[in-house]
Amino acid sequence: MERVITGKEAKFIDEVTINEIGIPSLVLMEKAALCVFNELKNNYYNYLIVCGSGNNGADGVALARMLYQNGENVTVLLISKSEGTTEFKLQLDIARKIGVEIIDFVNEDNLDEEYLEELFSANDCIVDAILGIGLDRQVSGLYFDIIGMINECDSDVYAIDIPSGICADNGEILGTCINATVTVTFGEYKIGQIAYPGKKYVGELIKKDIGFLDTEEVFANYESEDLEIRDNYIITSKDLELIPDRIERSNKGTYGKLLVIAGSKDMSGAAFFTGMAAYRMGAGLVNIVTSYENIDVLKDKLPEAVFTGYNDLRDECEYSKIEEALDKYDCIVIGPGISTDDNSAILVEMALESGKNIVIDADAINVIASDERYIEKLHENCILTPHMGEMSRLIKRDISEISDSPFEMATFFRDTYNTTIVLKDANTIIATSRGDNYINVSGNEGMSTAGSGDVLSGIIGGLMCIGANRDIVAPLGVYIHGLAGDYAKEKLGSASLMARDILENISEVLMMKDNL
């Protein structure tokens, strides 16, 4: 797994590198500017570097100097009223001395919006060096207007470190933001670059090493009174090694027994997708608890499974049968297609009270959201997998609020209920009961299709069954699900992709793991 950091953590790493190790800030700045220069040089006719007066602006001025000395047509536009940091003033002084064209929009009275629009349209590359990763307030005034003008022009836009207006800590848009073509970042990825809604505006994301002290070394050996370090990660293909290997001398019991509670009357598809995904992940035995009406259909589609049927769980015999199954099986997936009737409420309560590792999806989430007493039964062995609508019902917030701040909402739920939450989105956020947070980077738009979530629940349940580390099953399962979807898209395109195609490509992911 690969760590991703907040803007505050990035600044702390920067400070330790400068103050404790002794690498001057100007050296880091020159390296950062050189990285962007190498991406830009000789690619455009005219460059406009739009600069604030902080160190992000100083990076921009240093970049302008390098472009100028390479013989490029480059102009610097200053848009800050403040004097600026020491580094900014030094870079600006050097740029002026060697002849870089510098326009001070704030302090030159003859400039107006019409002039700016003409200036932007005259440059085929605009570089955003306005605000950087330290932004923690709403963008307003001149900055707001300038960002709007840049977004309206047809030029390619390169952002230094992060598009101005995106909160590096969580991806929120602070009023407005630059819509970048390319973002060049330094050191580690920032949460705001890969979590929505910020990710939408980052464009192509390029990461460069400029000589910061190793992140893990900084976090292990240096402390800041003002900063709480959080463990935020992305899963990568290397982490497929965390999937337990098959053992030569083994049997079905070696790979666990999964109880899948899915499918009310005429909802056999949800049960099939969940059970089949668990088997594709390597589960030893899957028992599907479902409405009696579904069993004949499911036996034909998935003969490898065993089945436990029910009609009315108020009947003592039927209740006891489910109770016995809950006792015999290692872990549980509950929710796909079960509806929200009285039977479902009984099943949810029984599953929660079992204390076992449990994946809670779909209608089981809706049942829990409907009654506070179910929420109070959540525990650290639970993994909830809501989409935005289900999350809205769980935490009683508008979908728009959750969509604007998915990272914050997921971690809030985890911290409140000490349970793992998988908030499904284009970049799914996983906040584990252990305290780690993950942003998923696999998957594609074709996976927005019926049954896709059922497959995810089965994958996570299958991972639990075969003995994957409990702390990693949710983020690893989400990554595998997305990767299987990516394989399917390569073969079929996104519009034609169906849940069964994700199922069929789980094996491709496992073969990829075997070849690592």
Domain boundaries, the chain: 2-234, 250-514
Integer Cα distance of 331 and 465 in angstroms: 7
pLDDT at 320 over 70: yes
Q: Strand, helix or coil at 194?
A: helix
Q: What is the largest CA-CA distance in the chain?
A: 89
Give the pairing of strands 46-51 and 156-160. unpaired
pLDDT above 70 for 191: yes
Please enumerate in sequence order all residues whose Cβ is within 8 A of that of 217, keeping only pairs 6 or more positions apart, or say none. none
- In percent, the amount of the chain with pLDDT more than 70 equals 99
Cβ atoms of 362 and 261 within 8 Å: the answer is no
pLDDT exceeds cutoff 80 at 497: yes
Peptide bond into 386 cis (omega under 30): no
pLDDT digits (tens, 9 = 90+) for 273-316: 999 999 999 999 999 999 999 999 999 999 999 999 999 999 99
State CA 473 to chain mean position distance: 16
**Based on C-alpha coordinates, what's the Rg of the chain?**
27
pLDDT confidence tier of residue 107, bands split at 50, 70 and 90: low
Instruction: Tell whether domain 2-234 is in CATH 3.40.50.2020.
Output: no
Q: Where are the alpha helices (DSSP H) in 127-254?
A: 141-152, 191-194, 215-221
Q: Are strands 46-51 and 125-129 parallel, antiparallel or unpaired?
A: parallel
Collapsed DSSP state (helix, strand, coil) of residue 62: helix
**What pLDDT, on the 0 to 100 scale, is given for residue 318?**
95
pLDDT, one tens digit per residue, over 213-256 is 999 999 999 998 889 898 999 999 999 999 999 999 999 999 99
Nearest CA to 43 out of 127, 119, 147, 152 is that of 127
**Whether the model pTM is above 0.75:** yes
Whether the CB-CB separation of 195 and 170 falls below 8 Å is answered with: yes
Q: What dotted CATH number matches 250-514?
A: 3.40.1190.20
